[in-house]
């Protein structure tokens, strides 16, 4: 509840408002809902989904609800567990480097450092 907002993420969400977006987290579902409401982020997402169940199961449910194939879906994540869930379901993955995940992603994985490029332009 005390973590800062990811720089650039709100502008990224607004720029891509036409795309269906979900939050999938290992955080407890109710806590995640409260955080999304308190920070006025819930409006950007079709669903804010926390544990239980696990991330791979939640991703599978989203694919079914949206009627899309895994190849038409991308997951952004900042943990190796996010990559594993994406691989299990077969969705594309983009890692976001943080202070705790800087060297975590294997070579060949698409990785961003932020939701803005070095010039501050929106991704």
- Residues 76-112 have pLDDT tens digits of 999 999 999 999 999 999 999 887 765 688 989 998 8
Q: Which residues make Cβ contacts (< 8 Å) with residue 38, sequence separation at least 6?
A: 1
3-state secondary structure of 49: strand
- In CATH terms, 9-112 corresponds, of 3.40.50.1000, 3.40.50.300, 3.30.70.1520, 1.25.40.420, to 3.40.50.1000
- Residues 39-55 have pLDDT tens digits of 999 999 999 999 999 99
What are the sequence ranges of the domains in the chain? 9-112
Residue 44 has which token pair?
A: 């950007």
């Amino acid at each position: 509840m005390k973590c800062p907002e990811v720089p650039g993420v709100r502008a990224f969400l607004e720029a891509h408002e036409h795309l269906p977006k979900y939050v999938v987290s290992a955080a407890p579902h109710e806590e995640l809902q409260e955080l999304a409401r308190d920070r006025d982020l819930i409006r950007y997402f079709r669903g804010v989904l926390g544990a239980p169940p696990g991330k791979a199961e939640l991703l599978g449910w989203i694919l079914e609800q949206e009627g899309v194939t895994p190849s038409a879906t991308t997951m952004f994540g900042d943990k190796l567990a996010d990559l594993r869930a994406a691989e299990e379901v077969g969705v594309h993955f983009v890692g976001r480097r943080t202070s705790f995940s800087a060297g975590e992603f294997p070579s060949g994985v698409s990785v961003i450092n932020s939701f803005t490029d070095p010039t501050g332009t929106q991704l």
